[in-house]
Amino acid sequence: MFARPSRRVLFLCTANVCRSPLAEALLRHRLRECGMHRHVAVASAGTRVGQPGRRPDPRTLQLCAQAGVSLRGIRARAVNLKLLERSDTILVMEQQHLDDLAGQKVPDRLLDRVQLLGGYLPPAYPAEAGNAIPDPYFADGEGFRAVYARIDAAVLGLLQDIAGF
């Protein structure tokens, strides 16, 4: 019999093709590395998904492939009440995503679970617009790599919180 995950993490960005699928894949990868993958369920969604079912951005796919991080099975989907209710921790990339949820009349009890992923960045990491993770969609390759590094650093901070060290 399989154990149920003891924690459920949901990452949100705008279209669910760049930042949140990357965060989902990186956390899954890190959890597997430390043997905690059966204890934490990880998902992602978007607040304004224009193309449900779309694969992650090709640049996200490329960076993850280079790092040996799998994006298998991750497709764009819109956030919904069921996803939010099933999540213990909801991590957004920027304040606008929290505003989007509030605009969708998400109950306060669920909004209380929302945090900025950038809040898990190490103190030495440069603060950027209130710890927002900027959208790399219109960025060049270097901008995408910078967002990848920023999300990876925040995911490592989140993992330390989950693991309790």
Joined together, the tokens standing for residue 4 give 């149920």
Candidate list 8, 54, 77, 135, residue with the active-site label: 135
Active-site residue 19, yes or no? yes
Q: What's the full length of the chain, in residues?
A: 165
Q: Give SS3 for 13.
A: strand
Q: Is residue 91 within 8 Å of residue 7, measured between CB atoms?
A: no
Joined together, the tokens standing for residue 132 give 């927002």
Active-site residue 135, yes or no? yes
Q: Is residue 20 within 8 Å of residue 93, measured between CB atoms?
A: yes
Candidate list 18, 19, 57, 64, residue with the active-site label: 19
Active-site residue 64, yes or no? no
Rounded Cα distance, 108 and 38, in Å: 29
* Residue (of 3, 2, 1, 6) closest to 162 by Cα position: 6
Q: Which residues are catalytic?
A: 13, 19, 135
